[in-house]
Chain A
């Protein structure tokens, strides 16, 4: 998965605004406890991905995230000793000891799992829709080398994937018994080191070694910059506000408490609207 410039409002926004937007969604996922709020955040991220034209990338990330979420639910259900509503009595189990599966532990595991899904999708949205070069430019003024290393690591991923594919193809072309895994590992590591050396040489001759503090780039704020920055601010305010005022109350233990009142529904709808509103304006996105 890598960034590709597409005609979408999120791609058209500056990296700062894009970063803030993704960060705000991640904050909302971390702050939300109420299942409706968390579902709204996940829905907002998925909707933003689809509206930005990176739905496929998010789907691919979800294929990794959903099994992880299921695992979290299972682990929490088996490990947590809290909760009053027993669903299943498993008795003495090796390692785990006396185990009862409770509704509360299962529900809380589901909340944790959903949060993990939301965070992974948010990361996928950032990777696919926010220009890493612009992010590098943003952060290099603070810490140039760290920013460059992070960006290069992202850039090297597709290169190394292609190398691995090439190596696998070459091995398929060998007649007879295939080489051992150890031999292949050694060859692959050696190839990676060669690649790294080549890239390092290229960086040297582009002047990286004597890098000066880069200039501040001045660029007028576009409608999309403003819209995504405003959306980010609104999402953070709604999430922090809901958490601080207890407008979306939730607790799992000792027994589930998750009222689905009009207040919660209104905040969730507002959060969804704020997240998706910047995509309505599609002028100047090409």
Chain B
């Protein structure tokens, strides 16, 4: 097969970096492959993609050794501008990738840069818009688009020139589950229809593995695994458990080999008679009742040592937020958080999650309705870097507050906040909002805290939140993270809660706002995490044994 991307012994260090981002990396990607790059943050995924698009080293500088060839062009001799003929690139943040005022101009921009004729540009724009389902947006201003729409437009600009290779760096990290799944489907369709080679770096592997032909896992800048998705999951079970998908962990717990995707995992469980009855997904029945009906026991989720009080920590009563000459962002939204309660706020992009958090923290005033809290409401907004204004970590927050978020003063106090990794910045920003001489806050709100985080860091954050005595309200798109920390889930749509209940009830029954475990088990027993699923399967087997006796 024709090689589209060939990397030979690539080593690269960013300017001023102490150690190389990638080391002696060699790989070859053939035409028409859809490759997923897996690995923890800082493992070298983004650097490899930047090397493929020529940004490394032409744009970032640094020291490079080895050779990268894209569609026959050596990146040492051809810069990103020339490579753009062969490589389409999509980054994480759609906001900074869109450079023109209208969608039509944005799609035309790369074609015009190539010197295509007017008719070729017009045809390319129309075809790309049709392929991505954005023809209705063509004459819209890019400043009016939602995050999902903007990311589609940026993908369109990357695909417009029909490049042989498209590289994408966590393109779904800022999208809601629906928009994220749509984007992955679009990529698969482009790959199948146009034979476009796709290299996609992602943290939420459960979302994209079933679409992949091959997975390359990077650990500390080196290739640790290069295999098809099923073999990758087998490798991850032993070599890198943090890269395992929840479905693979569920199957491993049930003593089965890993399967890629929800359908094959469900089939594997069904084949061995281990798939619990999905009818057990309703409200929690009594244990005896379960046994009588032969259904699996419902999973109960403890409060992890926290005490929930009868006093509300935060109460939003019939809150409206209506924009002047614009739509209503919140419509009669009511929400009560008891002290010690941990609640996840979910919903599509634009559902009103961030606005609700801002009202809770007093950054906005409702146009109608009332917000009351039992004390200070700490709010951590989406971008932790916005909180960092001092030269050292020690100047940002007190030693006590830093210790509370797991940043030891000895290791971090003298460092510049902007030199910290993404996860460390997140913790520091959390330390800043929690650091009040008048006492701890009554409520802690976090807006999309897991954007771009790998599974390990998400786990650490979930543990940190679980230990917090305050009421916690987190707006997030990540159902796996919700399953790890939340007692209760509120689903928001068009500015109003449409579902509000225990995490197991809200997350187990859905498709988009459901964990992979819940989707595999069809919502049975309200199991959301792999461990809960394994317990459910074990309970189900015991029940069957009792019934048989």
| B390 and A179 within 8 A (CB) | yes
CB distance from B397 to the nearest CB of A (A): 10
CA distance A205 to B82 in the complex (A): 9
A208-216, A228-236, A256-264 - the one binding chain B? A208-216
| A209 and B386 within 8 A (CB) | no
Chain A CB within 10 Å, residue with most, of B88, B96, B433: B96
| A204 and B113 within 8 A (CB) | no
CA distance A151 to B105 in the complex (A): 12
Q: Is A63 part of the contact surface with B, judged by Cβ < 8 Å?
A: no
CA distance A194 to B385 in the complex (A): 11
Q: Beyond A175-B433, A206-B109, A218-B118, is A187–B95 a contact (Cβ under 8 Å)?
A: no
| A173 and B81 within 8 A (CB) | no
Which of A151, A166, A204 is B80 in contact with, Cβ under 8 Å? Answer: A204
| A198 and B381 within 8 A (CB) | no
| A210 and B79 within 8 A (CB) | yes
B386 proximity list for chain A (CB < 8 A): 166-167, 169-171, 187, 191
Q: Beyond A155-B101, A176-B435, A215-B121, is A201–B112 a contact (Cβ under 8 Å)?
A: no
Q: Is B149 part of the contact surface with A, judged by Cβ < 8 Å?
A: no
Chain B CB within 10 Å, residue with most, of A151, A166, A205: A205
Q: Is B77 part of the contact surface with A, judged by Cβ < 8 Å?
A: no
| B118 and A215 within 8 A (CB) | yes
| A209 and B79 within 8 A (CB) | yes
| B389 and A184 within 8 A (CB) | yes
Contact mask A164-196 → B, CB, 8 Å, 1/0? 001101111111100100011011001100110
Q: Beyond A187-B388, A206-B157, is A133–B100 a contact (Cβ under 8 Å)?
A: yes
Which of A159, A190, A203 is B418 in contact with, Cβ under 8 Å? Answer: A190
| B378 and A175 within 8 A (CB) | yes
| B438 and A175 within 8 A (CB) | yes
CA distance A208 to B117 in the complex (A): 17
Count residues of B near A (Cβ-Cβ below 8 Å).
67
Which of A151, A170, A175, A216 is B435 in contact with, Cβ under 8 Å? Answer: A175
CA distance A225 to B246 in the complex (A): 59
Q: Beyond A169-B363, A175-B376, A206-B109, is A131–B99 a contact (Cβ under 8 Å)?
A: no
Q: Is A217 part of the contact surface with B, judged by Cβ < 8 Å?
A: yes
B89 proximity list for chain A (CB < 8 A): 205
Q: Is A132 part of the contact surface with B, judged by Cβ < 8 Å?
A: yes
| A199 and B96 within 8 A (CB) | yes
Q: Is B358 part of the contact surface with A, judged by Cβ < 8 Å?
A: yes
B98 proximity list for chain A (CB < 8 A): 202
| A198 and B93 within 8 A (CB) | yes
Chain B CB within 10 Å, residue with most, of A155, A170, A191: A170
Which of B82, B105, B141, B441 is A4 in contact with, Cβ under 8 Å? Answer: B141
Which of A3, A166, A184, A214 is B101 in contact with, Cβ under 8 Å? Answer: A3
| A173 and B387 within 8 A (CB) | yes
Contact mask B206-242 → A, CB, 8 Å, 1/0? 0000000000000000000000000000000000000
CB distance from A8 to the nearest CB of B (A): 14
Contacts of A212-270 to chain B: CB distance below 8 A: 212-218
Q: Is B143 part of the contact surface with A, judged by Cβ < 8 Å?
A: yes
CA distance A140 to B422 in the complex (A): 39
A183 proximity list for chain B (CB < 8 A): 389-390
Return the chain A residue nearest B84 by Cβ: A207
Contact mask A104-136 → B, CB, 8 Å, 1/0? 000000000000000000000000000111101
Which of A132, A173, A202, A203 is B361 in contact with, Cβ under 8 Å? Answer: A173
B139 proximity list for chain A (CB < 8 A): 5
B54 proximity list for chain A (CB < 8 A): 204-205
B115 proximity list for chain A (CB < 8 A): 212-215
CB distance from B48 to the nearest CB of A (A): 15
Which of A158, A195, A206, A210 is B143 in contact with, Cβ under 8 Å? Answer: A158
CA distance A139 to B114 in the complex (A): 17
| A174 and B81 within 8 A (CB) | no
| B437 and A3 within 8 A (CB) | no
Contact mask B379-414 → A, CB, 8 Å, 1/0? 111010111111000000000000000000000000
A214 proximity list for chain B (CB < 8 A): 112-113, 115
Contacts of B84-139 to chain A: CB distance below 8 A: 84-85, 87-89, 91, 93, 95-102, 104-105, 109-110, 112-118, 121, 139
Chain B CB within 10 Å, residue with most, of A169, A186, A218: A169
CA distance A73 to B79 in the complex (A): 55
Q: Is B140 part of the contact surface with A, judged by Cβ < 8 Å?
A: yes
| A210 and B389 within 8 A (CB) | no
A85 proximity list for chain B (CB < 8 A): none
Q: Is A79 part of the contact surface with B, judged by Cβ < 8 Å?
A: no
Return the chain B residue nearest A205 by Cβ: B89
Which of A131, A152, A202, A217 is B91 in contact with, Cβ under 8 Å? Answer: A202
CA distance A86 to B161 in the complex (A): 71
Which 7 A-B residue pairs are closest in the complex by CB-CB distance?
A: A209-B81, A212-B115, A210-B81, A133-B105, A207-B84, A170-B386, A207-B113
Q: A186-B389, A202-B91 are in contact. List 17 more A-B contacts (CB 8 A).
A: A2-B143, A5-B141, A131-B101, A131-B102, A158-B143, A173-B433, A175-B437, A176-B436, A187-B389, A191-B385, A195-B96, A205-B87, A205-B88, A205-B89, A206-B99, A210-B82, A215-B117
18 pairs, CB–CB < 8 Å, chain A vs chain B: A2-B141, A4-B144, A131-B102, A166-B383, A170-B381, A171-B387, A171-B389, A173-B379, A175-B378, A175-B433, A200-B59, A202-B97, A205-B158, A207-B161, A210-B81, A210-B82, A214-B112, A216-B118
Q: Which residues of B contact A (CB under 8 A)?
A: 53-55, 58-59, 79-82, 84-85, 87-89, 91, 93, 95-102, 104-105, 109-110, 112-118, 121, 139-141, 143-144, 157-158, 161, 358, 361, 363, 376, 378-381, 383, 385-390, 418, 432-433, 435-438, 441
